[in-house]
Amino acid sequence: MDDNKQNRTVIEAEIPMGTVHPAALEPYRLRLFVEDEIVRDAEITVGVNHRGVERIMEGLPVEKANSLTEKICGICSNSHIWNSCRTGEIALGIEVPERATYIRIIMEELERLHSHLLYLAHGSEVLGHETFSMRLFYIRETVMDLLGMIGGNRVQYGSAVLGGVRPRCELDEMRLQKITEGMDLLEEKITAFADRFVSDPMVMSRITGVGVISQKDALRLACTGPTLRATGVARDLRREMEEYDPFEFDVITQDDGDVKSQLLMRVFENFEAIKIIRQAVRDLPDGPITNRSWEMQDTPLTKSYIEVPRGTLYHSYSLEDGRVRNCVIRTPSMANIGAMQHACIGHHITDAQLSVVQCDPCFTCTDRAIEIIKI
């Protein structure tokens, strides 16, 4: 045996990252178990952001509880309040006016744009490309201005209510024109960024083949959303939602399951979101935006699933005397934590944070449940 190999010392160590880390938007703990700087195992621990939202919702009037769900996340606040209202509408048999549904779709796809652009900006920051990061935040401002124009806030717009949308979210000709102009501007800017991004050899070499999640592992780990579609699985819950039936769009997939595929997924999904918004503006039907002709009643546990920027969002609750009972909310990042841990294995420790970030984690969304253990 070669003397060098015989005398080689393998160094095993645990490297903790967090709960606060410069490359992380939120506090969480990442433990890396390494062997000669190669990650052999990884563990993500959440819980720092726990606020007990589901417990607070217990016993609240349903419309107040729906509004509270917006506070779960600042990035996908519209997704939460829409799905919470949708749960109540399914339970109570409320028919949402068609015009209100189109406005909800516009808000949701604008939120998808702002979420994906934020993801790309944060990913660029982790890559160490501050210029790309700042450019993407600049592009995202167009989306934030449109959300603020419609909902009155750049974050937590409060657009959805039981039976439709709030009166302040009505879209007149001026607002529709601004949305149309915004989509044209976004398409131009995102296209220019994408061309610049994929033509940068240093960036592409840094993200190709890193943090690979195979299709088999993605299905085994029950991944959802773009994280799953980046492995070649064309699964998008919008195809099963009746609200999206009037709209034509493609389900974007990539094949390699690495950081490059994850980033390109969000780039191309931006164009599909723009396509849906243009159709909604063009075909926006006339009519009311709210249906208040319904009666409150007790209902059994009712569930609702929708496709949000990170994947499948689940809400469920029952109603008793107009108050919420037994609320459960499951966010996409809960399903994708296993993929984040798996993606680190086999790569250098310098790629670990990038492997986690590629799955677009939102741990603040995820932190709602607690585990009681016996000491």
Sorted by where each starts, the structural domains of the chain and their CATH numbers stand as: 50-365 (1.10.645.10)
**Cβ-Cβ contacts under 8 Å for 250 (sequence gap 6 or more):** 272
Phi-psi map region of 200: left, alpha, beta (phi>0 left; psi -120 to 50 alpha): beta
Which residues carry a binding-site annotation for Fe cation? Answer: 76, 365
pLDDT at 370 (0 to 100): 45
Which residues carry a binding-site annotation for Mg(2+)? Answer: 54, 329
pLDDT at 372 (0 to 100): 46
Q: What is the pLDDT of residues 72-107, one digit of tens each?
A: 888 889 999 999 999 999 999 999 999 999 999 999
For the cut 70, the answer to whether the pLDDT of residue 220 exceeds it is yes
pLDDT at 69 (0 to 100): 92
- Global pTM reads 0.92
Which residues carry a binding-site annotation for Ni(2+)? Answer: 73, 76, 362
Which residues carry a binding-site annotation? Answer: 54, 73, 76, 329, 362, 365
Q: What is the pLDDT of residues 226-273, one digit of tens each?
A: 999 999 999 999 999 999 999 999 999 999 999 999 999 999 999 999
pLDDT at 364 (0 to 100): 78
In this prediction, residues 307-311 reach a mean pLDDT of 95
Out of 202-206, 287-291, 314-318, least confident range: 202-206
pLDDT at 90 (0 to 100): 97
